[in-house]
Amino acid sequence: MFAGMNTGASPALAPHHMAMIPPERLAEIQKEYFAELAHLATNPEAIEVKDRRFSGKAWHSSWSKTIAATYLLNAKHLMALAKAVEADEKSKQKILFTTEQMIDALSPSNFIATNPEVLENIISSQGQSIQNGIVNLLGDMKKGKVSQTDETAFEVGKNIATTEGQVVFRCELFELIQYTPLTETVYERPYLMVPPCINKYYILDLQPDNSVVRYMVEQGHTVFLVSWKNPDESMSKVTWEDYVGNGVIKAIEVTKNIGGTEQINILGFCVGGTLTASALAVLAAKKDASIASLTLFTTLLDFTNTGILDVFIDENMVKMRETSIGGESGKFGMMSGLDLGNTFSFLRPNDLVWNYVVENYLKGNSPPPFDLLYWNGDSTNLPGAMYCWYLRHTYLQNDLVKPGKVSLCDQKIDLGKIDCPAYIYASQEDHIVPWQSAYESTQILKGKNRFVLGASGHIAGVINPPAKNKRYYFENSKIAKTGPEWLTGATEIKGSWWPDYTKWLAQYGGKKIAARKTFGNSKYKELEAAPGKYVKEKLGSAV
């Protein structure tokens, strides 16, 4: 989300940082380091390396184990030094982040000369692996990113994003898809999904066995979904307010009109959740009760603690972006989706960058097909005006939680005026939306709230279909003041949280009616079959 920006982070552990470590703590860290280093040198046969980067058989030789163990010891020592620096919280966070980035980049697994698996491959393939790796590298240089999956294995609308439906509305910001019912009867109230405008909507509709969209249709909901347009330069002046009013609120109006109901249920995912809550605050200010229930998946409303992303945000960085693409100097531009994607990958560099550098370039392998990673690489741009507003008023100033601070669609908004029931889901290992911060929504929204904490990360925690019987979730019907307090009283339940969610949502679906065989209505006609055309648009140029 914050790619291509100067983070303001100083080099990891620069000399002046060393001077900020208390002398007694520095001496203690150095003493521990030399004691462990001496133990490594005198007891090589006792070395145990517990790190998946060094788990292959080739790493079991004494030479390779010593290299790996020495690296891990040095990494541990550097992190201890970084944590010992006495500085303000923001500076300390930057020091830790840049130190971790440096450590991960310098792993011996990332270099031909110190990776025994790579050396074995070169010998066994008579150099073919290196040739293949160069071809892979050149291909990725053209794309501007490290390949994480076989992109030729998927095609949107063919074997991914395949749930049947029709586009029933299109404007310059989004298409609205209405999905084909899969049950004889459906809940009276339609169900509208608002995905993030970063990446494509089909994270919610990957393949039939892990599609949230299909699952909700199978539960008897008439599902509508916003498919955001991939912005090009003509949209550089589009604002956050446009996404709220001409985006979410318009989608609500169309869904209500086609459904013929006074109320609908609505879901917002990640940034889509922040947009949805902004829209509902506008409706609340107008005394509009169109929403029967609100669902938020891994969403921030309170941006006090944004975890690792806080490293990137300060006044200078935001001002620089406002000047370069936000229109402050009369220059409007786009935030590059390619840069966004690369930055998000570097938030988990060992899993999403260096692993593929080793496999693709050093070993000469091609990545296997994986639908989630295909979606992850199918990035979208963001309008400069919208992006800069989002940075300043959420991550930097946290204005959305201040009643009356923000005006949208001619209304001063107050998230505390949203009083419909809300289901708030967070993922335990989410590095983009810390679950404790997602929990804060239970303190902001004034309706009857339910909070559920799932396992895994920002995306994998959400995409957890029941049939696979994977992972676990925590449930506690009593809302406490803080996330940790809530978790203390929570019960761990094995498997997917999806059935818990659909049971909760059923309360707000209204009566059951016969499923309609037609799409749209006299005002909103069928335009084309799902997945529509916007989701197929690839990245345009960004300036």
C-alpha 460/C-alpha 210 separation (Å) is 11
Task: Decide if 197 contacts 243 (C-beta within 8 A).
Answer: yes
Label the pairing between strands 411-412 and 407-408: antiparallel
C-alpha 321/C-alpha 323 separation (Å) is 5
Give start and end residues of each alpha helix (H) in 331-418: 337-346, 349, 355-356, 371-377, 384-390
Calculate the CA dihedral of residues 243, 275, 534, 291 and round it to 10 degrees.
Answer: -100
Task: Decide if 423 contacts 269 (C-beta within 8 A).
Answer: no
Tokens in use for 188? 């009276």
List residues bridging with 408 in a β-sheet: 411
H/E element, 532:
none
CA 145 to chain centre: 18
Tokens in use for 238? 């589009």
Helix (H, G, I), strand (E, B) or coil at 108: helix
Tokens in use for 229? 């347009």
Task: Decide if 2 contacts 392 (C-beta within 8 A).
Answer: no
CA 42 to chain centre: 46
C-alpha 231/C-alpha 173 separation (Å) is 8
- Three-class DSSP labels, 3-28: CCCCCCCCCCCCHHHHCCCCHHHHHH
Residue 216: C-alpha distances to residues 20, 213, 222, 382, 459 (Å): 54, 5, 8, 29, 18
Helix (H, G, I), strand (E, B) or coil at 529: strand
DSSP, res 225: E
Give start and end residues of each alpha helix (H) in 43-126: 62-84, 89-105, 116-124
C-alpha 527/C-alpha 286 separation (Å) is 32
Report, as residue numbers or ranges, the catalytic residues: 270
- Three-class DSSP labels, 186-213: EECCCEEEECCCCCCHHHHCCCHHHCHH
C-alpha 416/C-alpha 45 separation (Å) is 62
H/E element, 412:
strand 411-412
